[in-house]
Amino acid sequence: MRVTTGMIYETGLASMQKQNNRLLDTMEQAATGRRVLRPSDDPVASARALEVSQSKSVNSLYAANQGYANDTLKLVDSKLGAANEVVTYLRTRAVESGNGGYSASDQAAIGVDVAQQFDELLGIANSQDATGDYVFSGYSSNTRPFAGSLAAGVQYQGDQGVRTLQISASRNLPVSSSGEEIFNTLRAGTGSAFALGAAGNSGTAQVSGLSLSGYSGHNFRIDVGADPVTGLTTYTAFDTTSGGAGVPLTSTLGANGETVLAFENITPAPAVPPFGSTLSLSGTPAAGDTFTVSTVANTFDVLGNFVNALKSGNQAATRFNSAQAISGMDAAQESISRVRSGVGSRMVEVETQQNINSSTDLQYADTLSRLQDADYAEALSSLAQQKIYLEAAQQSFLKVSNLSLFNYL
């Protein structure tokens, strides 16, 4: 084979470029600390590293969700703690209002204080987080959960949804509770019930007594009306648990001048009243007024009736509603404690998952290091060796390129 001058130059140049490329690769490995810089360097390790990197990225998303969940649960716990403090204070005031030595003005002063605490509790129930979402509105995070006032009554406008965050591949963690569950489900003790007047009632009648002889545990609504002919006050009871048409009630006069309504009869009923379950009203009701007897009540309805009784000066109504407020606040504390206990349990779960997540992240990082990272001692040794190879290729090219017959003429 004939060796031409062009071939000598091409071979020398290719050799220097080859050594130079190897040197640059080794320099890049030493600079970045990575052995696998491109898939062609190690196809198997590169594919495995891609899988581990994707798993590590997903794990990072779970870690972010765990942080969000922890922050949200801490906020919920803080708000529930504040609500519990208000409820505890209200219970104390309810006990105090039952003092027989207090005058009507003393009880009215307590009513002013309880009304202020009513507004504070309503504010807590309508709490928002840092992004402006309502904490206790369920899925309807942009809807104010509790609307209304002491005078007009308070209605829940949220839903029953519980927001969740995925903190691991197999766990969607609840991070909120609906206001309905916390504030609207005060449960009366076994064999008892709450008797409440509607917030919009225009008459002066206050519930002043409740007897539950033979009580079925159903919920009842008693509507006040007026006979179109005689103009006399009428009462109609509706069993809202079983439904059906209203039953006209006959009122009787109690020993203290209160109106006594037998809204549920026992079987067989005694021949003379009082018989069955009875509701006593002190004051004068107006047509359109409504009263309810139920085993589940709204915290704000119980407090609203308590405030109205304190301000009315009606001692019988005050005594009854004080006792009812004590029972209601006990139920509220139980409800808050139950929800708060669940929040605390979930906070522990998040902490445990964060520890697991941290360990998993370290395992992924260790695996990626074994697959991708360079051995610095080996890389630096190869770098020195390849510098020598490149210099040798350059010197060889100089020697070979100077070989010519003209040098011997």
Delineate the domains of the chain, giving CATH numbers in brackets. 55-188+329-345 (1.20.1330.10), 194-294 (no CATH)
H/E/C letters for each residue in 244-265? CCCEEECEEECCCCCEEEEEEC
Strand partners, 357: none
Higher pLDDT, 46 or 100: 100
Residues whose CB is less than 8 angstroms from the CB of residue 200 and which lie 6 or more positions away in sequence, other chains included: 152, 153
Confidence check: pLDDT of 74 > 70: yes
Residue 165: CB atoms within 10 A of its CB come to 21
Cα 146 to Cα 301: distance, rounded to the nearest angstrom: 12
Residue in the block written with tokens 């070979």: 400
Q: Output phi, psi for 288, to 5 deg.
A: 100, -10
Lowest mean pLDDT among 45-49, 149-153, 194-198, 323-327: 45-49
Lowest mean pLDDT among 66-70, 121-125, 401-405: 401-405
Q: What is the pLDDT of residues 218-268, one digit of tens each?
A: 899 999 999 888 888 999 999 888 887 888 888 888 888 899 998 876 444
What is the band of 276 on the pLDDT scale with cuts at 50, 70, 90? Answer: confident
Confidence check: pLDDT of 191 > 90: no
Confidence check: pLDDT of 272 > 50: no
Q: What is the pLDDT of residues 368-409, one digit of tens each?
A: 666 665 554 555 566 556 666 555 665 665 666 665 555 555
Q: Where are the alpha helices (DSSP H) in 126-190?
A: 179-183
Residue 249 confidence (pLDDT): 87
Measuring CA to CA, how many Å separate 19 from each of 292, 380, 392? 94, 16, 10
Q: What is the pLDDT of residues 79-115, one digit of tens each?
A: 999 999 999 999 999 999 988 788 889 999 999 999 9
| Full-model pTM | 0.78
Q: Interior CA angle at 219 toward 213 and 220, to 5°? A: 85
Q: Output phi, psi for 124, to 5 deg.
A: -65, -40
Cα 282 to Cα 263: distance, rounded to the nearest angstrom: 16
Confidence check: pLDDT of 14 > 70: no
Which amino acid is located at 184 in the chain? Answer: N
Cα 375 to Cα 362: distance, rounded to the nearest angstrom: 20
Q: What is the pLDDT averaged over residues 133-153?
A: 93
Q: What is the pLDDT averaged over residues 116-130?
A: 95
Cα 347 to Cα 360: distance, rounded to the nearest angstrom: 20
CB 347 within 8 A of CB 70: yes
Confidence check: pLDDT of 26 > 70: no
Residue 405: CB atoms within 10 A of its CB come to 6
Indicate the SS3 state at residue 64.
helix
Cα 339 to Cα 342: distance, rounded to the nearest angstrom: 5
Cα 126 to Cα 179: distance, rounded to the nearest angstrom: 9
Confidence check: pLDDT of 180 > 70: yes
Cα 14 to Cα 55: distance, rounded to the nearest angstrom: 42
CB 229 within 8 A of CB 248: no
Residue 273 confidence (pLDDT): 46
Cα 43 to Cα 49: distance, rounded to the nearest angstrom: 10
Strand partners, 164: 174
Confidence check: pLDDT of 65 > 70: yes
Q: Output phi, psi for 331, to 5 deg.
A: -65, -35
Which amino acid is located at 77 in the chain? Answer: D
CB 174 within 8 A of CB 161: no
Residue 18 confidence (pLDDT): 64
CB 66 within 8 A of CB 360: no
Q: What is the pLDDT of residues 278-320, one digit of tens each?
A: 999 999 999 999 999 999 999 999 999 999 999 988 899 999 9
Residue 214 confidence (pLDDT): 76
Q: Where are the alpha helices (DSSP H) in 290-372?
A: 299-312, 315-372
Indicate the SS3 state at residue 16.
helix
